[in-house]
């Protein structure tokens, strides 16, 4: 068994060592430009077109992340990047759900208890007690009920807060009001106090966090974006903060990363910025999941996490 590996964002040495340990029978190599030697599987993050194009020998391509928007965008820009009839398999959780829940819950409770406002008061050396937001009306809406979104919604609900969830297809989650499809989006948004975005990034969800969306939320609502920067119309958020439509925002993802030093988000005190760190890919868990799925595929057994290319996730 021959496996190709590629990532532009980190030293491949540790990944290659762990993959060889988990798959001792495999020949695992890091892809280099011009490498067209046969391979059975490819494990990639943001691969170049030349790595995958025309590789009819592959049995599957594994994406080193739950989001596949980058590799699908490359396919749209350069058709044929993904070999035809070769499944694209994304990571499922691998420790990301717990991290994401920690991040989002921290942000939600910070806003409910008004710690963001206390930070502004501290900067002014002002001692002033603020009433917390009423729990019963502090409705949290989770956009996107995949593995991460579902877990986040359940954890938030465990704090006794009212939680709604929105997905493209109908879902049932105990204790959470669920909405599905474009026809129910406005009803989902109506009165939401904290909007948490965990949607996959597809052409249909591009720019979904815009002035029209903000106008449907509760007055002085909060935004938490932990999905993709391309979901957010940045000018609309700045305008909504200026008018008070949005009280504050926590952003982990941006259209351009790293966020440029001169970007207006840096100087907006009501925006909390983190460097795309809400849920990091954990190498050991990822390698174990990929190795398990490669084993299943070699035995001609089904695997989960296969991406529907047309839907984008």
165 forms bridges with which residues in the sheet? 142, 178
Q: According to the model, what pLDDT value does residue 278 have?
A: 98
Q: Among 90, 151, 164, 228, which one carries the catalytic annotation?
A: 228
Q: According to the model, what pLDDT value does residue 101 have?
A: 98
**Does the annotation count 228 as an active-site position?**
yes
Ranges of residues in the chain with a pLDDT under 70 are: none
Q: According to the model, what pLDDT value does residue 10 have?
A: 74
* Contact call for residues 166 and 145 (beta carbons, < 8 A): yes
Residue 115, SS3 per DSSP: helix
Q: According to the model, what pLDDT value does residue 219 have?
A: 97
CB atoms within 10 A of CB 89: 23
Residue 192: name the closest of 237, 228, 245 by CA. Answer: 245
Q: According to the model, what pLDDT value does residue 9 have?
A: 79
DSSP 216-246: TSPTTEEEEE-S-GGGB-HHHHHHHHHHTSE
The Cα–Cα gap between 179 and 184 comes to 6
Q: Among 59, 263, 276, 283, which one carries the catalytic annotation?
A: 276
Backbone angles phi, psi at 214, to 5 degrees: -60, -35
**Does the annotation count 59 as an active-site position?**
no
List Cα–Cα distances, 304 to 29, 46, 289, 294, in angstroms.
25, 21, 11, 11
Kindly report whether the global pTM for this prediction surpasses the value 0.85. Answer: yes
Cα angle, residue 271 at apex, residues 265 and 274 outer, rounded to 5°: 85
271 forms bridges with which residues in the sheet? 249
Domains of the chain: 2-94+281-311 (3.40.50.720), 96-273 (3.40.50.720)
Beta-strand runs (E) in 7-136: 27-30, 41-44, 60-63, 88-90
């Amino acid at each position: 068994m021959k496996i190709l590996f590629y990532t532009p964002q980190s030293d491949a040495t540790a990944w290659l060592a762990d993959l060889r340990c988990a798959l001792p029978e495999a020949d695992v190599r890091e892809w280099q430009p011009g490498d067209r030697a046969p391979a059975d599987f490819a494990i990639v993050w943001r691969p170049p077109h030349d790595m995958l194009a025309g590789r009819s020998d592959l049995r599957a391509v594994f994406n080193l992340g739950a989001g596949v928007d980058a590799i699908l965008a490359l396919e749209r820009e350069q058709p044929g990047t993904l070999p035809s009839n070769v499944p694209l398999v994304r990571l499922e959780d691998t420790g990301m759900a717990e991290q994401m829940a920690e991040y989002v819950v921290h942000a939600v409770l910070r806003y409910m208890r008004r710690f963001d406002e206390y930070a502004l008061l501290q900067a002014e050396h002002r001692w002033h007690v603020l009433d917390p937001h009423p729990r019963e009306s502090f409705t949290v809406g989770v956009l996107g009920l995949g593995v991460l979104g579902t877990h986040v919604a359940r954890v938030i609900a465990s704090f006794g807060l009212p939680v709604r969830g929105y997905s493209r297809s109908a879902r049932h989650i105990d204790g959470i009001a669920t909405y599905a499809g474009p026809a129910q989006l406005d009803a989902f948004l109506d009165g939401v106090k904290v909007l948490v975005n965990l949607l996959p990034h597809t052409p249909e969800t591009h720019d979904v966090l815009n002035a029209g969306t903000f106008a449907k939320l509760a007055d002085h609502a909060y935004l938490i974006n932990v999905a993709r920067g391309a979901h957010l119309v940045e000018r609309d958020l700045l305008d909504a903060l200026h008018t008070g439509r949005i009280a504050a925002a926590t952003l982990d993802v941006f259209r351009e990363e790293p966020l440029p030093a001169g970007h207006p988000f840096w100087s907006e005190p009501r925006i909390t910025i983190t460097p795309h760190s809400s849920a990091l890919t954990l190498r050991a868990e990822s390698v174990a999941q990929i190795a398990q799925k490669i084993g299943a595929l070699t035995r001609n057994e089904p695997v989960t996490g296969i991406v529907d290319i047309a839907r984008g996730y």
